[in-house]
C-alpha cells in the first residue's frame, strides 16, 4: 500500500526527542530549529506534558462529546486567561485546517454571505474551504471568491472595494504569514483591516495556527497590533504534537450547536495535552522568553548575515537571501545536524524552534550558519528589518 503522509525532504529518521534535541536511529543528535513545523512549542517530551497525558490516559482517554467532559471547560478557562480572551467561546477540533474550515463556515452562516477575502502568499490548510482561501489554491472549492489581495502593498483600498462590490462574509489573515515566508503586515494595516471589517460587518478571522501560542513574543501575533479579531484559529503549538485545534469565538458571533461538531475534537487526552502546554508556557514564562531570545537572534542575524532581509517576531523568524536556500538548508542538516525550515518562497529560510530553546542553542545555530555561509563583509549590517 502506498503512503501519502510522508513527503520526505530529508532522509533522516528521528526516533527520540527531548527539549530541542532529536536523535536518529543511529544515535546521531540534531538541534531542532524547525519545531516540526511550528508545532513543538514547549519542547519535545516535556516531563510535565508527558505526565499530564499519561495520567489522563490512565483515567479516561476518550468518550464522545455526548457526555460531560470537564477538562474541556478547564482548558477553555485556562486558554481564556493566558490568551487575554476570557470572554470568547472555544470550539475544539483536531487541526489547523479544520479550525479554519469551521471559522469560515461560522462566518458564512453568521452573515448569510459566502465570499472570503484572503491574502497573497497565505496558507490556511488543505481541506477544501481552507485550500480555496490559500494563495496557491489548486482546486475550486465552494467558499471562495478567490480574492488574493497583497497586504505587502498595504492595499486597504482594494480590500474595501471588494467588500463593497461582493457578498463578503470574512477576511482571513495570518497576522504573520508562515508558509509564505514569514511576511508580516504592518500593525497599521491590521488596524485598518479590523476597522474595515467592523464598518462592513465582515467577520475578521485571524489564523494564528502558526503564529499563535507565544511564538511571536505575545500569546497571539495580532496582539502586537492591538486588534481583536472575531474568530481566532489555533492548532500546531496548542498540542505540542498532540493533534488538537480550535477556534476562539467572539461573544458577538452566534455559534449554534449543530453547526460546529466533531467526533474527536476536545477529547480528554487532547485537552490534557493542551492544558499541559498552557501550564508550561505560564510556569516557564515562555512568551517573554520567546520575545527576548527572538530579539537576540534577529539582532545577531541582522548584524552578521549577508541576507537581504531578516523577518518575523519572537521565535518566528525568516531569513531572506538572494539565492535559493536549499543547499544551505541541506548543509545545516548534514554538516551541522540542525533542522531548519523552508518556505513557499525558495529563498527564505524559516526558523521555528521550540519556545524554550536556550541562548546556547541560538549561538550554536548562528555559529553553524556563519560557518556554512560566511557573513559577507559587503552586506554586513545592511540587512533590512522585515516590515
Ligand atoms: N494555517 C496556517 C497558518 C498554517 O501554517 C497551517 C499549517 N502549516 C495550517 C493553517 C493548517 O494546519 P493543519 O496542517 O494542522 O491542518
Whose CA is closest to atom 5 on ligand 1? 210
**Architecture of domain 14-46+295-385 in CATH?**
Alpha-Beta Complex (3.90)
- Domain coordinates of the chain in residue numbers? 14-46+295-385, 47-283
Find out whether 189 and 214 touch, Cβ atoms under 8 Å: no
**pLDDT confidence band for 363 (50 / 70 / 90):** very high
pLDDT at site 149: 54
In the reported structure, the alpha carbon of residue 381 is separated from the centroid of ligand 1 by a whole-number distance in angstroms of: 34
As given in the structure block, the three cell numbers for residue 82 are 493566558
Residue among 47, 12, 8, 49 at smallest CA distance from 31: 12
Residue 383 has pLDDT above 50, yes or no: no
In the reported structure, the alpha carbon of residue 238 is separated from the centroid of ligand 1 by a whole-number distance in angstroms of: 12
**CB burial class (10 A; 0-12, 13-18, 19+) of residue 153?**
exposed
Strands 245-249 and 231-234: antiparallel
Residue 147 has pLDDT above 50, yes or no: no
Strands 14-18 and 168-173: unpaired
Helix then strand then coil, in percent of the chain rounded to 5, is 35, 20, 45
pLDDT at site 154: 54
Find out whether 325 and 348 touch, Cβ atoms under 8 Å: yes
State how far the Cα of 292 lies from the Cα of 254, in Å rounded to an integer. 38
Scanning the chain, the segments in alpha helix (DSSP H) are 35-38, 47-59, 70-83, 96-111, 128-132, 156-165, 187-199, 268-283, 286-304, 326-334, 359-372
Pocket of ligand 1 (CB under 6 A): 95-97, 100, 123-125, 174, 178-179, 207, 209-210, 235
CATH 3.40.640.10 at 47-283, yes or no: yes
**pLDDT confidence band for 141 (50 / 70 / 90):** very low
What's the Cα-to-Cα distance from 104 to each of 69, 167, 285, rounded to whole Å?
Answer: 26, 14, 33
Q: Which of 89-98, 114-123, 290-299, 346-355 has the lowest mean pLDDT?
A: 114-123
Ligand 1 atom with the shortest distance to the CA of 100: 10
Instruction: Work out the average pLDDT over 70-84.
Output: 98
pLDDT at site 199: 97
Ligand 1 atom with the shortest distance to the CA of 97: 16
State how far the Cα of 212 lies from the Cα of 137, in Å rounded to an integer. 23
**Rounded percentage of the chain residues whose pLDDT exceeds 90:** 75
Whose CA is closest to atom 10 on ligand 1? 124
Mutate to test the pocket of ligand 1, among 39, 94, 96, 242 (most ligand atoms within 8 A of CB): 96
Residue 280 has pLDDT above 60, yes or no: yes
pLDDT per residue over 283-307, tens digit each?
999 999 999 999 999 999 999 888 9
**How many Cβ atoms sit within 10 Å of the Cβ of residue 309?**
22
What's the Cα-to-Cα distance from 301 to each of 96, 304, 317, 370, 375, rounded to whole Å?
Answer: 30, 5, 10, 10, 10
pLDDT per residue over 99-132, tens digit each?
999 999 999 999 999 888 888 888 999 988 888 7
Amino acid at each position: 500500500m502506498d503512503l501519502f503522509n510522508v513527503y520526505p525532504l530529508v532522509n533522516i529518521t528521528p526516533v527520540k526527542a527531548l527539549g530541542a534535541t532529536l536523535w536518529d536511529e543511529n544515535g546521531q543528535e540534531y538541534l531542532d530549529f524547525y519545531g516540526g513545523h511550528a508545532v513543538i512549542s514547549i519542547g519535545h517530551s516535556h516531563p510535565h506534558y508527558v505526565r499530564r497525558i499519561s495520567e489522563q490516559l490512565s483515567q479516561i482517554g476518550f468518550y464522545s462529546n455526548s457526555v460531560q467532559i470537564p477538562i474541556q471547560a478547564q482548558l477553555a478557562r485556562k486558554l481564556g486567561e493566558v490568551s487575554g480572551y476570557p470572554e470568547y467561546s472555544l470550539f475544539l477540533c483536531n487541526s489547523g485546517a479544520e479550525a479554519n474550515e469551521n471559522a469560515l463556515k461560522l462566518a458564512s452562516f453568521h452573515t448569510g454571505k459566502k465570499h472570503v477575502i484572503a491574502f497573497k502568499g497565505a496558507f490556511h490548510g488543505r481541506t477544501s474551504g481552507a485550500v480555496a482561501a490559500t494563495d496557491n489554491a489548486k482546486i475550486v472549492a465552494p467558499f471562495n471568491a478567490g480574492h488574493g489581495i497583497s497586504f505587502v502593498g498595504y492595499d486597504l483600498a482594494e480590500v474595501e472595494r471588494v467588500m463593497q462590490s461582493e457578498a463578503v462574509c470574512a477576511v482571513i489573515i495570518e497576522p504573520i504569514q508562515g508558509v509564505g515566508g514569514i511576511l508580516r503586515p504592518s500593525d497599521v494595516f491590521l488596524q485598518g483591516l479590523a476597522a474595515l471589517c467592523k464598518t462592513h460587518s465582515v467577520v475578521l478571522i485571524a489564523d494564528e495556527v502558526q503564529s499563535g501560542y507565544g511564538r511571536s513574543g505575545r500569546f497571539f501575533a495580532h496582539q502586537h497590533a492591538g486588534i481583536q479579531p472575531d474568530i481566532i484559529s489555533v492548532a500546531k503549538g496548542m498540542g505540542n504534537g498532540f493533534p488538537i485545534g480550535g477556534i476562539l469565538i467572539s461573544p458577538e458571533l452566534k455559534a449554534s450547536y449543530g453547526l460546529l461538531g466533531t467526533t474527536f475534537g476536545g477529547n480528554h487526552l487532547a485537552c490534557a495535552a493542551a492544558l499541559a502546554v498552557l501550564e508550561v508556557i505560564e510556569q516557564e514564562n515562555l512568551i517573554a522568553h520567546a520575545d527576548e531570545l527572538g530579539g537576540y537572534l534577529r539582532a545577531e542575524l541582522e548584524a552578521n548575515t549577508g541576507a537581504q532581509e531578516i523577518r518575523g517576531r519572537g521565535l518566528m523568524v525568516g531569513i531572506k537571501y538572494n539565492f535559493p536556500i536549499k543547499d544551505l538548508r541541506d548543509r545545516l542538516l548534514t554538516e551541522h545536524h540542525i533542522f531548519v525550515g523552508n518556505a513557499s518562497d525558495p529563498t527564505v529560510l524559516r526558523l521555528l524552534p521550540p519556545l524554550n530553546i536556550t541562548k546556547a542553542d541560538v549561538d550554536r545555530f548562528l555559529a553553524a550558519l556563519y560557518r556554512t555561509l560566511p557573513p559577507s563583509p559587503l552586506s554586513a549590517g545592511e540587512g533590512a528589518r522585515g516590515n
